[in-house]
Chain A
Amino acid sequence: MSQSGVAHAVYGIIRRDILIVFRRRADAMTTAFFFVIVTSLFPLGIGPEPAVLRSIAPGVLWVAALLSCLLSLNRLFTSDYQDGALEQLVLVPQPLTVLVMAKVAAHWLLSGLPLVVLSPLLGMQYGLSGESVGILMFSLLLGTPTLSLIGAIGAALTLGVRGSSVLVALLALPLFIPVLIFGAGAVSNQMAGIGAEANLSLLGACLLLALVLAPWATSAALRLAVE
Protein backbone atom coordinates (compact mmCIF):
# COMPACT_ATOMS: atom_id res chain seq x y z
CA MET A 1 0.00 0.00 0.00
CA SER A 2 2.68 2.50 0.98
CA GLN A 3 5.54 2.07 -1.46
CA SER A 4 3.53 1.40 -4.59
CA GLY A 5 0.96 3.98 -3.46
CA VAL A 6 3.56 6.74 -3.28
CA ALA A 7 5.20 5.84 -6.59
CA HIS A 8 1.79 5.61 -8.20
CA ALA A 9 0.85 9.02 -6.86
CA VAL A 10 4.10 10.60 -8.04
CA TYR A 11 3.73 9.12 -11.51
CA GLY A 12 0.10 10.23 -11.60
CA ILE A 13 0.93 13.82 -10.67
CA ILE A 14 3.78 14.17 -13.15
CA ARG A 15 1.66 12.64 -15.92
CA ARG A 16 -1.29 14.91 -15.08
CA ASP A 17 0.75 18.10 -14.99
CA ILE A 18 2.49 17.34 -18.25
CA LEU A 19 -0.82 16.43 -19.89
CA ILE A 20 -2.45 19.65 -18.72
CA VAL A 21 0.36 21.77 -20.07
CA PHE A 22 0.46 19.86 -23.34
CA ARG A 23 -3.17 20.71 -23.89
CA ARG A 24 -2.23 24.40 -23.77
CA ARG A 25 1.28 24.25 -25.08
CA ALA A 26 1.47 28.00 -25.39
CA ASP A 27 1.85 28.37 -21.62
CA ALA A 28 5.07 26.42 -21.46
CA MET A 29 6.45 27.71 -24.72
CA THR A 30 6.10 31.32 -23.67
CA THR A 31 8.72 30.85 -20.97
CA ALA A 32 11.14 29.32 -23.46
CA PHE A 33 10.46 32.15 -25.89
CA PHE A 34 10.99 34.66 -23.12
CA PHE A 35 14.42 33.15 -22.49
CA VAL A 36 15.32 33.46 -26.16
CA ILE A 37 13.99 36.99 -26.53
CA VAL A 38 15.65 38.37 -23.42
CA THR A 39 19.02 36.94 -24.38
CA SER A 40 18.59 38.46 -27.84
CA LEU A 41 17.92 41.89 -26.36
CA PHE A 42 21.32 42.27 -24.76
CA PRO A 43 23.44 42.27 -27.94
CA LEU A 44 20.98 44.73 -29.43
CA GLY A 45 21.34 47.03 -26.47
CA ILE A 46 25.02 46.66 -25.71
CA GLY A 47 26.43 46.34 -29.19
CA PRO A 48 27.61 43.35 -31.22
CA GLU A 49 31.29 43.42 -30.30
CA PRO A 50 32.21 39.74 -29.86
CA ALA A 51 34.66 40.15 -26.99
CA VAL A 52 32.15 42.09 -24.89
CA LEU A 53 29.39 39.62 -25.63
CA ARG A 54 31.58 36.67 -24.73
CA SER A 55 32.41 38.20 -21.38
CA ILE A 56 28.82 39.02 -20.44
CA ALA A 57 27.40 35.77 -21.81
CA PRO A 58 27.41 33.67 -18.60
CA GLY A 59 25.73 36.37 -16.54
CA VAL A 60 23.17 37.32 -19.17
CA LEU A 61 22.19 33.74 -19.96
CA TRP A 62 21.90 32.86 -16.30
CA VAL A 63 19.85 35.95 -15.41
CA ALA A 64 17.55 35.27 -18.35
CA ALA A 65 17.09 31.66 -17.18
CA LEU A 66 16.36 32.92 -13.68
CA LEU A 67 13.75 35.40 -14.90
CA SER A 68 12.11 32.75 -17.10
CA CYS A 69 11.88 30.44 -14.12
CA LEU A 70 10.36 33.24 -12.08
CA LEU A 71 7.76 33.89 -14.76
CA SER A 72 6.76 30.27 -14.96
CA LEU A 73 6.25 29.89 -11.22
CA ASN A 74 2.70 31.17 -11.20
CA ARG A 75 1.75 28.12 -13.25
CA LEU A 76 2.91 25.81 -10.50
CA PHE A 77 0.11 25.92 -7.96
CA THR A 78 -2.42 28.62 -8.85
CA SER A 79 -4.66 26.70 -11.24
CA ASP A 80 -4.81 23.75 -8.84
CA TYR A 81 -5.53 26.14 -5.99
CA GLN A 82 -8.36 27.80 -7.86
CA ASP A 83 -10.18 24.65 -8.91
CA GLY A 84 -9.75 22.78 -5.63
CA ALA A 85 -7.32 20.10 -6.76
CA LEU A 86 -4.72 21.41 -4.32
CA GLU A 87 -7.02 20.73 -1.37
CA GLN A 88 -7.35 17.13 -2.53
CA LEU A 89 -3.58 16.85 -2.85
CA VAL A 90 -3.17 18.02 0.73
CA LEU A 91 -5.75 15.49 1.94
CA VAL A 92 -4.45 12.31 0.30
CA PRO A 93 -2.58 9.82 2.52
CA GLN A 94 0.65 10.08 0.55
CA PRO A 95 3.16 12.50 2.11
CA LEU A 96 2.71 16.03 0.79
CA THR A 97 6.48 16.60 0.52
CA VAL A 98 6.75 13.80 -2.04
CA LEU A 99 3.77 15.11 -4.00
CA VAL A 100 5.32 18.58 -3.99
CA MET A 101 8.54 17.11 -5.35
CA ALA A 102 6.51 15.47 -8.09
CA LYS A 103 4.83 18.75 -9.03
CA VAL A 104 8.15 20.57 -9.04
CA ALA A 105 9.67 17.80 -11.16
CA ALA A 106 6.89 18.14 -13.72
CA HIS A 107 7.29 21.91 -13.67
CA TRP A 108 11.03 21.61 -14.21
CA LEU A 109 10.58 19.18 -17.10
CA LEU A 110 8.31 21.69 -18.79
CA SER A 111 10.03 24.99 -18.06
CA GLY A 112 13.58 24.27 -16.84
CA LEU A 113 14.64 21.52 -19.22
CA PRO A 114 13.76 23.57 -22.35
CA LEU A 115 16.15 26.24 -21.08
CA VAL A 116 18.93 23.69 -20.76
CA VAL A 117 18.22 22.45 -24.28
CA LEU A 118 18.09 25.96 -25.75
CA SER A 119 21.23 27.21 -24.02
CA PRO A 120 23.80 25.82 -26.53
CA LEU A 121 22.10 27.73 -29.32
CA LEU A 122 22.12 30.97 -27.37
CA GLY A 123 25.62 30.32 -26.11
CA MET A 124 26.86 30.13 -29.65
CA GLN A 125 25.00 33.36 -30.43
CA TYR A 126 27.22 34.95 -27.80
CA GLY A 127 30.33 33.40 -29.24
CA LEU A 128 31.03 30.93 -26.44
CA SER A 129 33.38 28.06 -27.21
CA GLY A 130 32.14 24.48 -27.28
CA GLU A 131 33.58 23.68 -23.88
CA SER A 132 32.06 26.77 -22.30
CA VAL A 133 28.71 25.87 -23.79
CA GLY A 134 29.03 22.42 -22.24
CA ILE A 135 29.74 23.92 -18.82
CA LEU A 136 26.83 26.32 -19.32
CA MET A 137 24.47 23.45 -20.08
CA PHE A 138 25.67 21.47 -17.10
CA SER A 139 25.38 24.45 -14.76
CA LEU A 140 21.84 25.11 -15.99
CA LEU A 141 21.05 21.42 -15.60
CA LEU A 142 22.08 21.60 -11.95
CA GLY A 143 20.74 25.08 -11.33
CA THR A 144 17.28 25.14 -12.89
CA PRO A 145 15.88 22.35 -10.66
CA THR A 146 17.19 24.30 -7.67
CA LEU A 147 15.46 27.42 -8.96
CA SER A 148 12.21 25.49 -9.42
CA LEU A 149 12.43 24.08 -5.90
CA ILE A 150 13.19 27.40 -4.25
CA GLY A 151 10.63 29.18 -6.41
CA ALA A 152 8.02 26.66 -5.33
CA ILE A 153 8.42 27.92 -1.75
CA GLY A 154 7.73 31.47 -2.89
CA ALA A 155 4.81 30.38 -5.07
CA ALA A 156 3.23 28.40 -2.23
CA LEU A 157 3.64 31.23 0.28
CA THR A 158 1.88 33.75 -1.98
CA LEU A 159 -0.96 31.57 -3.26
CA GLY A 160 -4.09 33.62 -3.71
CA VAL A 161 -2.51 36.78 -2.36
CA ARG A 162 -3.12 40.10 -4.06
CA GLY A 163 -0.14 41.19 -6.11
CA SER A 164 1.41 37.78 -5.77
CA SER A 165 3.37 37.92 -9.01
CA VAL A 166 5.64 40.70 -7.82
CA LEU A 167 5.73 39.30 -4.31
CA VAL A 168 6.96 35.92 -5.54
CA ALA A 169 9.82 37.71 -7.26
CA LEU A 170 10.75 39.58 -4.09
CA LEU A 171 10.65 36.41 -2.02
CA ALA A 172 12.40 34.10 -4.43
CA LEU A 173 15.13 36.35 -5.83
CA PRO A 174 17.21 36.70 -2.62
CA LEU A 175 17.26 32.93 -2.38
CA PHE A 176 18.10 32.61 -6.09
CA ILE A 177 21.16 34.82 -5.81
CA PRO A 178 23.65 32.12 -4.63
CA VAL A 179 22.56 29.81 -7.46
CA LEU A 180 23.03 32.63 -9.95
CA ILE A 181 26.48 33.44 -8.57
CA PHE A 182 27.69 29.85 -8.71
CA GLY A 183 26.10 29.13 -12.09
CA ALA A 184 27.43 32.15 -13.89
CA GLY A 185 30.69 31.82 -11.99
CA ALA A 186 31.16 28.27 -13.25
CA VAL A 187 31.04 29.36 -16.87
CA SER A 188 33.11 32.49 -16.44
CA ASN A 189 35.73 30.59 -14.42
CA GLN A 190 35.96 28.00 -17.15
CA MET A 191 36.39 30.75 -19.72
CA ALA A 192 39.12 32.32 -17.60
CA GLY A 193 40.90 28.99 -17.39
CA ILE A 194 40.49 28.55 -13.62
CA GLY A 195 38.20 25.56 -13.97
CA ALA A 196 34.55 25.18 -13.13
CA GLU A 197 34.73 22.33 -10.62
CA ALA A 198 34.39 24.46 -7.50
CA ASN A 199 31.32 26.33 -8.69
CA LEU A 200 29.71 23.22 -10.13
CA SER A 201 30.24 21.38 -6.84
CA LEU A 202 28.62 24.25 -4.98
CA LEU A 203 25.73 24.19 -7.45
CA GLY A 204 25.30 20.50 -6.77
CA ALA A 205 25.36 21.19 -3.05
CA CYS A 206 22.67 23.85 -3.45
CA LEU A 207 20.56 21.38 -5.42
CA LEU A 208 20.87 18.71 -2.74
CA LEU A 209 20.06 21.18 0.02
CA ALA A 210 17.04 22.44 -1.90
CA LEU A 211 15.89 18.87 -2.61
CA VAL A 212 15.85 18.11 1.09
CA LEU A 213 14.54 21.36 2.56
CA ALA A 214 12.40 23.04 -0.08
CA PRO A 215 9.59 20.44 -0.33
CA TRP A 216 9.20 20.60 3.42
CA ALA A 217 8.82 24.40 3.46
CA THR A 218 6.59 24.27 0.36
CA SER A 219 4.21 21.71 1.88
CA ALA A 220 3.97 23.76 5.09
CA ALA A 221 3.11 26.81 2.99
CA LEU A 222 0.57 24.83 0.93
CA ARG A 223 -1.20 23.55 4.03
CA LEU A 224 -1.33 27.13 5.24
CA ALA A 225 -2.79 28.37 1.96
CA VAL A 226 -5.43 25.69 1.81
CA GLU A 227 -6.72 26.05 5.36
Chain B
Amino acid sequence: MNINWFRYSSTQAFYPVAGNMIPWCAVAALALIGAGLYLGFFVAPTDFQQKEAYRIIFVHVPAAWMSMFLYVVMALWAGIGLGLNARPSFMMAQAIAPTGAMFTFLALLTGALWGKPTWGTWWVWDARLTSELILLFLYIGVMLLRTSIDDLRRADRASAIFALVGVVNVPIIYFSVRWWNTLHQGASVSATAAPKMAATMLLAMLLMTLGFWAYSFVVVLTRMRCVILERERISSITKTVSGELSMEVS
Protein backbone atom coordinates (compact mmCIF):
# COMPACT_ATOMS: atom_id res chain seq x y z
CA MET B 1 0.00 0.00 0.00
CA ASN B 2 1.58 3.22 -1.10
CA ILE B 3 0.83 6.07 1.28
CA ASN B 4 1.52 9.49 -0.13
CA TRP B 5 2.70 11.23 3.03
CA PHE B 6 2.84 14.56 1.26
CA ARG B 7 -0.69 14.47 -0.08
CA TYR B 8 -1.91 17.27 2.17
CA SER B 9 1.22 19.34 1.92
CA SER B 10 -0.41 21.17 -0.95
CA THR B 11 -2.61 24.02 0.20
CA GLN B 12 -5.10 23.21 -2.51
CA ALA B 13 -5.54 19.69 -1.13
CA PHE B 14 -5.51 20.70 2.51
CA TYR B 15 -8.02 23.56 2.29
CA PRO B 16 -11.16 21.48 1.70
CA VAL B 17 -10.05 18.78 4.15
CA ALA B 18 -9.66 21.37 6.86
CA GLY B 19 -13.05 22.79 5.92
CA ASN B 20 -14.65 19.37 6.37
CA MET B 21 -12.94 18.75 9.70
CA ILE B 22 -13.99 22.01 11.30
CA PRO B 23 -17.71 21.33 11.90
CA TRP B 24 -17.03 17.90 13.42
CA CYS B 25 -14.37 19.26 15.73
CA ALA B 26 -16.67 22.11 16.70
CA VAL B 27 -19.41 19.69 17.70
CA ALA B 28 -16.92 17.58 19.61
CA ALA B 29 -15.54 20.66 21.35
CA LEU B 30 -18.96 21.85 22.44
CA ALA B 31 -19.94 18.39 23.67
CA LEU B 32 -16.70 17.73 25.54
CA ILE B 33 -16.44 21.17 27.11
CA GLY B 34 -20.12 21.08 28.02
CA ALA B 35 -19.77 17.65 29.63
CA GLY B 36 -16.56 18.64 31.37
CA LEU B 37 -18.00 21.84 32.80
CA TYR B 38 -21.16 20.10 33.94
CA LEU B 39 -19.19 17.34 35.65
CA GLY B 40 -16.76 19.82 37.10
CA PHE B 41 -19.19 22.37 38.45
CA PHE B 42 -22.15 20.24 39.45
CA VAL B 43 -21.10 16.63 39.93
CA ALA B 44 -17.56 16.64 41.29
CA PRO B 45 -17.39 16.64 45.09
CA THR B 46 -16.34 19.62 47.17
CA ASP B 47 -12.68 19.71 48.01
CA PHE B 48 -11.82 19.06 51.62
CA GLN B 49 -9.34 21.93 51.97
CA GLN B 50 -10.26 24.48 49.31
CA LYS B 51 -14.07 24.05 49.36
CA GLU B 52 -15.48 25.34 46.06
CA ALA B 53 -12.53 27.51 44.98
CA TYR B 54 -10.73 24.49 43.57
CA ARG B 55 -13.20 24.20 40.70
CA ILE B 56 -11.18 26.62 38.63
CA ILE B 57 -8.85 23.65 38.13
CA PHE B 58 -11.16 22.50 35.35
CA VAL B 59 -10.12 25.51 33.26
CA HIS B 60 -6.65 26.17 34.64
CA VAL B 61 -5.03 22.75 34.19
CA PRO B 62 -6.39 21.99 30.69
CA ALA B 63 -5.38 25.49 29.54
CA ALA B 64 -1.87 25.00 30.93
CA TRP B 65 -1.56 21.57 29.33
CA MET B 66 -2.74 22.97 25.99
CA SER B 67 -0.32 25.89 26.20
CA MET B 68 2.65 23.54 26.52
CA PHE B 69 1.29 21.00 24.05
CA LEU B 70 0.56 23.62 21.38
CA TYR B 71 4.05 25.06 21.72
CA VAL B 72 5.57 21.64 21.11
CA VAL B 73 3.25 21.08 18.14
CA MET B 74 4.13 24.50 16.76
CA ALA B 75 7.84 23.73 17.16
CA LEU B 76 7.26 20.37 15.47
CA TRP B 77 5.68 22.01 12.43
CA ALA B 78 8.43 24.63 12.43
CA GLY B 79 11.02 21.85 12.41
CA ILE B 80 9.24 19.97 9.64
CA GLY B 81 9.01 23.15 7.62
CA LEU B 82 12.71 23.86 8.05
CA GLY B 83 13.68 20.27 7.31
CA LEU B 84 11.44 19.60 4.34
CA ASN B 85 11.23 23.20 3.10
CA ALA B 86 7.44 22.92 3.11
CA ARG B 87 5.48 26.15 3.12
CA PRO B 88 2.25 24.72 4.55
CA SER B 89 4.14 23.52 7.62
CA PHE B 90 5.19 27.09 8.30
CA MET B 91 1.61 28.21 7.73
CA MET B 92 0.45 25.67 10.32
CA ALA B 93 3.00 26.98 12.83
CA GLN B 94 1.73 30.50 12.09
CA ALA B 95 -1.84 29.35 12.71
CA ILE B 96 -1.05 27.67 16.03
CA ALA B 97 0.86 30.51 17.69
CA PRO B 98 -2.04 32.85 18.63
CA THR B 99 -4.12 30.01 20.09
CA GLY B 100 -1.17 28.81 22.13
CA ALA B 101 -0.58 32.32 23.40
CA MET B 102 -4.24 32.59 24.35
CA PHE B 103 -4.12 29.37 26.37
CA THR B 104 -0.94 30.48 28.11
CA PHE B 105 -2.57 33.75 29.07
CA LEU B 106 -5.68 31.88 30.22
CA ALA B 107 -3.59 29.56 32.36
CA LEU B 108 -1.77 32.47 33.97
CA LEU B 109 -5.01 34.40 34.51
CA THR B 110 -6.97 31.49 36.01
CA GLY B 111 -3.94 30.62 38.07
CA ALA B 112 -3.86 34.12 39.53
CA LEU B 113 -7.59 34.00 40.21
CA TRP B 114 -7.08 30.67 41.99
CA GLY B 115 -4.01 31.83 43.86
CA LYS B 116 -5.66 34.80 45.49
CA PRO B 117 -8.16 32.91 47.68
CA THR B 118 -5.91 29.90 48.29
CA TRP B 119 -2.34 31.23 48.55
CA GLY B 120 -3.29 34.76 49.50
CA THR B 121 -1.46 36.32 46.57
CA TRP B 122 -2.18 36.96 42.90
CA TRP B 123 1.34 36.12 41.81
CA VAL B 124 4.53 34.60 43.14
CA TRP B 125 7.85 34.34 41.35
CA ASP B 126 8.31 30.62 41.70
CA ALA B 127 9.75 28.35 39.02
CA ARG B 128 6.55 27.17 37.41
CA LEU B 129 4.80 30.54 37.14
CA THR B 130 7.97 32.24 35.90
CA SER B 131 8.61 29.62 33.24
CA GLU B 132 4.97 29.78 32.11
CA LEU B 133 5.35 33.56 31.82
CA ILE B 134 8.49 32.99 29.75
CA LEU B 135 6.39 30.72 27.53
CA LEU B 136 3.97 33.60 26.93
CA PHE B 137 6.88 35.86 26.00
CA LEU B 138 8.20 33.18 23.64
CA TYR B 139 4.84 32.87 21.87
CA ILE B 140 4.68 36.66 21.51
CA GLY B 141 8.27 36.68 20.22
CA VAL B 142 7.43 34.05 17.60
CA MET B 143 4.45 36.09 16.39
CA LEU B 144 6.32 39.42 16.49
CA LEU B 145 9.32 38.07 14.62
CA ARG B 146 7.09 36.83 11.84
CA THR B 147 5.24 40.13 11.43
CA SER B 148 8.42 42.25 11.60
CA ILE B 149 10.14 40.65 8.63
CA ASP B 150 8.78 41.68 5.27
CA ASP B 151 10.14 38.84 3.16
CA LEU B 152 7.66 36.01 3.68
CA ARG B 153 10.11 33.16 3.28
CA ARG B 154 12.59 34.68 5.67
CA ALA B 155 9.84 35.52 8.17
CA ASP B 156 8.63 31.90 8.14
CA ARG B 157 12.06 30.43 8.67
CA ALA B 158 13.20 32.98 11.27
CA SER B 159 10.14 32.45 13.43
CA ALA B 160 10.57 28.69 12.98
CA ILE B 161 14.16 28.88 14.24
CA PHE B 162 13.05 30.96 17.21
CA ALA B 163 10.21 28.54 18.01
CA LEU B 164 12.67 25.66 18.02
CA VAL B 165 15.09 27.57 20.26
CA GLY B 166 12.28 28.25 22.72
CA VAL B 167 11.08 24.66 22.95
CA VAL B 168 13.79 24.13 25.58
CA ASN B 169 11.46 25.98 27.96
CA VAL B 170 8.64 23.42 27.83
CA PRO B 171 10.42 20.61 29.72
CA ILE B 172 11.53 23.24 32.23
CA ILE B 173 7.91 24.19 32.89
CA TYR B 174 6.91 20.56 33.16
CA PHE B 175 9.66 19.50 35.56
CA SER B 176 9.85 22.78 37.48
CA VAL B 177 7.73 21.52 40.36
CA ARG B 178 9.96 18.48 40.69
CA TRP B 179 13.29 20.26 40.42
CA TRP B 180 12.55 23.25 42.63
CA ASN B 181 10.80 24.00 45.89
CA THR B 182 7.79 25.80 44.47
CA LEU B 183 4.59 27.17 45.91
CA HIS B 184 2.76 25.65 42.95
CA GLN B 185 1.68 22.13 43.83
CA GLY B 186 3.38 19.10 42.39
CA ALA B 187 2.01 16.65 39.88
CA SER B 188 -1.18 14.92 40.92
CA VAL B 189 -1.66 13.18 37.61
CA SER B 190 1.06 11.00 36.18
CA ALA B 191 1.23 8.41 33.44
CA THR B 192 2.95 5.89 35.67
CA ALA B 193 1.28 6.23 39.06
CA ALA B 194 -2.27 6.21 40.36
CA PRO B 195 -3.86 9.65 40.32
CA LYS B 196 -4.08 11.53 43.57
CA MET B 197 -7.45 13.07 42.72
CA ALA B 198 -11.01 11.84 43.01
CA ALA B 199 -12.17 9.99 39.91
CA THR B 200 -14.92 12.45 38.96
CA MET B 201 -12.53 15.39 39.21
CA LEU B 202 -10.00 13.59 37.06
CA LEU B 203 -12.64 12.68 34.50
CA ALA B 204 -13.93 16.24 34.31
CA MET B 205 -10.40 17.54 33.86
CA LEU B 206 -9.67 15.07 31.09
CA LEU B 207 -12.93 15.90 29.33
CA MET B 208 -12.07 19.60 29.49
CA THR B 209 -8.60 18.88 28.11
CA LEU B 210 -10.03 16.96 25.17
CA GLY B 211 -12.58 19.71 24.69
CA PHE B 212 -9.86 22.37 24.60
CA TRP B 213 -7.94 20.20 22.17
CA ALA B 214 -10.98 19.96 19.87
CA TYR B 215 -11.45 23.73 20.23
CA SER B 216 -7.81 24.22 19.21
CA PHE B 217 -8.42 22.11 16.12
CA VAL B 218 -11.37 24.31 15.15
CA VAL B 219 -9.58 27.60 15.68
CA VAL B 220 -6.23 26.52 14.23
CA LEU B 221 -7.79 24.97 11.13
CA THR B 222 -9.94 28.06 10.55
CA ARG B 223 -6.94 30.30 10.94
CA MET B 224 -4.95 28.00 8.64
CA ARG B 225 -7.60 28.35 5.97
CA CYS B 226 -7.42 32.15 6.28
CA VAL B 227 -3.61 32.04 6.07
CA ILE B 228 -3.82 29.87 2.96
CA LEU B 229 -6.25 32.25 1.28
CA GLU B 230 -4.11 35.27 2.15
CA ARG B 231 -0.96 33.73 0.82
CA GLU B 232 -2.47 32.21 -2.30
CA ARG B 233 -4.61 35.20 -3.20
CA ILE B 234 -2.53 36.13 -6.22
CA SER B 235 -2.45 32.60 -7.59
CA SER B 236 -5.03 31.01 -9.80
CA ILE B 237 -6.35 28.63 -7.21
CA THR B 238 -8.27 31.26 -5.32
CA LYS B 239 -11.24 33.13 -6.63
CA THR B 240 -13.41 35.93 -5.36
CA VAL B 241 -16.99 34.87 -4.76
CA SER B 242 -19.28 37.85 -4.12
CA GLY B 243 -16.45 39.93 -2.70
CA GLU B 244 -15.00 37.19 -0.49
CA LEU B 245 -11.89 35.13 -1.15
CA SER B 246 -12.40 31.43 -1.50
CA MET B 247 -10.67 28.51 -3.11
CA GLU B 248 -11.36 26.45 -6.19
CA VAL B 249 -12.76 23.09 -5.20
CA SER B 250 -10.99 20.70 -7.48
Give the B-binding residues of A (Cβ under 8 A): 153, 157-158, 161-164, 167, 170-171, 173-175, 177-178, 181, 209, 213, 217, 220-221, 224-225, 227
Contacts and interface: CB of A to CB of B under 8 A. Distances in A.
B161 A158 contact: no
B134 A157 contact: no
Interface in B181-226: none
Interface of B: 82, 130, 134, 137-138, 140-141, 144-145, 148-150, 154, 157-158, 161-162, 164-166, 168-169, 172
B74 to A, nearest CB: 15
B158 A167 contact: no
29 contacts: A153-B162, A157-B161, A157-B162, A158-B148, A158-B158, A161-B148, A161-B149, A162-B148, A162-B150, A163-B148, A167-B144, A170-B137, A170-B140, A170-B141, A173-B137, A174-B134, A174-B138, A174-B141, A174-B169, A175-B165, A178-B134, A178-B172, A209-B168, A220-B161, A221-B158, A221-B161, A224-B158, A224-B161, A225-B154
A158 B137 contact: no
A181 B130 contact: yes
A170 to B, nearest CB: 6
Contacts of B168: 209, 213
Name the 10 nearest CB pairs between A and B, nearest first: A174-B137, A174-B134, A157-B158, A171-B141, A224-B157, A217-B165, A174-B138, A161-B149, A161-B148, A221-B161
Point out which of A153, A164, A174, A177 has the most chain B C-beta atoms below 10 A from its C-beta. A174
A167 B145 contact: yes
A217 B161 contact: yes
A-side binding surface: helix, strand, loop or mixed?
helix
Given A158-B148, A170-B140, A174-B166, 6 more contacts: A153-B161, A158-B158, A161-B149, A171-B141, A174-B138, A213-B165
A157 B141 CA distance: 11
Contacts of A181: 130
Given A217-B164, A224-B161, A177 B134 contact: yes
Contacts of B141: 170-171, 174
A171 B166 CA distance: 10
A217 B163 CA distance: 11
B145 A175 contact: no
Contacts of A153: 161-162, 165
A220 B83 CA distance: 12
A177 B141 CA distance: 14
Contacts of A227: 154
Contacts of B150: 162
Contacts of B157: 224
Point out which of A162, A163, A178 has the most chain B C-beta atoms below 10 A from its C-beta. A178
A48 B23 CA distance: 65
Point out which of A157, A181, A225, A227 has the most chain B C-beta atoms below 10 A from its C-beta. A157
B217 to A, nearest CB: 27
B134 A170 contact: no
Point out which of B130, B144, B158 has the most chain A C-beta atoms below 10 A from its C-beta. B158
A227 B165 CA distance: 21
A153 B168 CA distance: 14
B140 A224 contact: no
Nearest to A177: B134
Nearest to B158: A157
Nearest to A181: B130
A104 to B, nearest CB: 15
Point out which of A158, A170, A175, A227 has the most chain B C-beta atoms below 10 A from its C-beta. A175
A153 B159 CA distance: 12
A150 to B, nearest CB: 8
A177 B130 contact: yes
A227 B149 CA distance: 14
Contacts of B172: 178
A170 B158 contact: no
